[in-house]
């Protein structure tokens, strides 16, 4: 089936988030070092970014490095950080050519200074692009984000800026790293694992979950089209009944 041809452009998910998993297993299968899987994974990143922008998806968020990933062997962490810097340098052209704005969420101040600086530069240079927002989750953990949100709100309440009675979902949204993004509509995880792994816990409340068996380095635009086609053929009820929706 040609999934792309069957995608309804009027029913696109406004926000797709992806847990890019399986780089290490891909490398192992080829008899290569884990880091080669990450390198190969950058090709899949480019394909998915370009395909999303071309389709008209407004927001794409990629889980590139979690707070827990700092516990990996130092050689792998260092290599991932170097890969981030080289990818940012190389892919700024892809972002500009496709009118894509770069954004980042997470504890960005824990990134190595070189990575932080490169990231800020690309964010700045692409800040007026408006076809799609590409958000990289870097040193990101949802529980950390939620703790940070609670601290910020508690400080504002303590300072008398507003009353705790006025805390509602919109106040919480405004204190998350994703404050400028809509809720996630479609969450994709590759490599056959079926977990959320501390990713956007609040923001996926009503997301459709899609698990693919494909290891991330092998993920291609056709696989994204299939996930979107599958999403469009589900009934999203948001707690209502089928009858209410029709």
- Select from 26, 28, 48 the least CA-distant residue to 226: 48
Rule CB under 6 A: say whether 115 interacts with ligand FPP: no
* Residues of this chain, 147-186, that bind ligand FPP according to CB under 6 A: none
Which of 7, 13, 18, 24 binds ligand FPP (CB under 6 A)? It is 24
- Select from 225, 182, 227 the least CA-distant residue to 204: 182
- Whether 166 is catalytic: no
Binding mask 44-83 for ligand FPP (x = CB under 6 A): -x----------------x-x----x-------------x
Handedness of CA 109, 47, 76, 93 (dihedral sign): negative
CB nearer ligand FPP, residue 96 or residue 155: 96
- Whether 180 is catalytic: no
- Total residues contacting ligand FPP by CB under 6 A comes to 18
Among candidate residues 6, 21, 129, 183, the one labeled active-site is 21
Report the chain's terminal Cα–Cα distance, integer Å: 28
Q: Which residue is nearest to ligand FPP (CB)?
A: 24
For residues 182 and 207, the answer to whether their CB atoms sit within 8 Å is no
Which of 51, 84, 102, 134 binds ligand FPP (CB under 6 A)? It is 84
Torsion angle defined by CA atoms of residues 129, 13, 176 and 190, in that order, rounded to the nearest 10 degrees? -100
Rule CB under 6 A: say whether 20 interacts with ligand FPP: yes
DSSP string, 72-115: S-HHHHHHHHHHHHHHHHHHHHHHHHTTEEEEEES-GGGS-HHH
Which residues of this protein are in contact with ligand FPP, per CB under 6 A? 20-25, 38, 41-42, 45, 62, 64, 69, 83-84, 87, 136, 216
Active-site positions? 21, 69
């Amino acid at each position: 089936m040609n999934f792309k041809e069957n995608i309804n452009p009027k029913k696109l998910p406004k926000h797709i988030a992806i847990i890019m998993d399986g780089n290490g297993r891909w490398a192992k299968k080829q008899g290569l070092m884990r880091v080669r899987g990450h390198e190969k994974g950058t090709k899949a990143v480019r394909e998915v970014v370009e395909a999303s922008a071309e389709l008209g998806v407004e927001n794409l968020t990629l889980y590139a490095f979690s707070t827990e990933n700092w516990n990996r062997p130092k050689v792998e962490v260092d290599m991932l950080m170097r890969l981030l810097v080289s990818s940012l340098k190389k892919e700024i052209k892809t972002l500009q050519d496709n009118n894509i704005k770069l954004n980042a969420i997470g504890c960005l101040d824990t990134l190595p200074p070189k990575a932080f600086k490169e990231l800020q530069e690309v964010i700045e240079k692409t800040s007026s692009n408006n076809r799609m927002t590409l958000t990289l989750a870097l040193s990101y953990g949802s529980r950390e984000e939620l703790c940070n949100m609670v601290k910020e709100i508690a400080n504002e309440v303590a300072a008398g800026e507003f009353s705790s009675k006025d805390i509602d979902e919109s106040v919480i949204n405004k204190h998350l790293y994703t404050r400028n993004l809509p809720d996630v509509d479609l969450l994709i995880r590759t490599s056959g694992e079926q977990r959320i792994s501390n990713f956007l816990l609040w923001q996926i409340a009503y997301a459709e979950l899609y698990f693919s068996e494909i290891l991330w380095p092998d993920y291609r635009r056709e696989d994204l089209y299939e996930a979107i086609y599958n999403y469009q053929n589900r009934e999203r009820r948001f707690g209502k009944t089928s009858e209410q929706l029709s």
